[in-house]
Amino acid sequence: MPARFLTSAADAKGFPEDSGAELAVVGRSNSGKSSAINRIVGQTKLARVSKTPGRTQLINFFELGEGRRLVDLPGYGFARVPEEQRQDWRRLTGEYFESRRSLKGLLVTVDIRRGLLDLDQAMLDWAAGLALPVMILLTKSDKLSRAAGATALQALRRDLRDGVTAELFSALDDTGVDRVRSQVEAWIGGSLPK
């Protein structure tokens, strides 16, 4: 079964039934989250890839198979966002993290050229508090040489707590795609669409 769009939610009332298993994807605006989602599910246009980030404050649910979902959380860290929208983000994301029993793991997209910033660290702390396993995708790894990418990955891995892993990732040259897909399958069971 190909992955398909299920629903968008602006609050907890719009979430689909909390059964089965799902993983969530989150990251800074423009960090390559939508591109990663498309690559992971093997479709080019499931999640929109945007050059003007920061607008959507919706949680998008995609179905990957019977009772298995991928959840696209709104991005954070877009500079020109009013305080009101930041609060919306915290409320919506908080309602999601604090209610979803079917949530099995979190992918965090981090642009390899920027590295882990404060808001990424806050997200990792939040996940730690919920005992939620995390895989960090160091995205756009094609922008660095192989050696520079390996160095960045090693440096990041040194500081990670238990339950957090990291991989190089590129939606452009497919670096890391197989590993991420395996992790997703381990979290939610079944096999991903090709």
Ligand X SMILES: Nc1nc2c(ncn2[C@@H]2O[C@H](COP(=O)(O)OP(=O)(O)O)[C@@H](O)[C@H]2O)c(=O)[nH]1
DSSP letter (8 states) at residue 56: -
The residue among 54 and 102 lying less far from ligand X, judged by its C-beta, is 54
The residue among 37 and 188 lying less far from Mg ion, judged by its C-beta, is 37
Question: Please, what is the minimum distance in Å from the beta carbon of residue 74 to Mg ion?
Answer: 9
- Positions that interact with ligand X (CB under 6 A): 27, 29-35, 49-51, 53, 75, 109, 139-140, 142-143, 170-172
Question: Please, what is the minimum distance in Å from the beta carbon of residue 146 to ligand X?
Answer: 15
The residue among 34 and 175 lying less far from Mg ion, judged by its C-beta, is 34
Q: Determine the interface stretch with Mg ion among 34-42, 106-114, 133-141, 181-189 (rule: CB under 5 A).
A: 34-42
Among 34, 60, 93, 183, the residue binding Mg ion under the rule CB under 5 A is 34
What's the rounded Cα separation, in Å, for the pair 59 and 15? Answer: 8
Half-sphere exposure of 125 (CA within 13 A, CB side): 7
Question: Please, what is the minimum distance in Å from the beta carbon of residue 31 to Mg ion?
Answer: 9
Taking the alpha carbons at both ends of the chain, their separation in whole angstroms is 9
Exposure string over 170-185, b if 16+ CB within 10 A, otherwise e: bbeeebbbeebbebbe
Contact 41/6 with Cβ under 8 angstroms? no
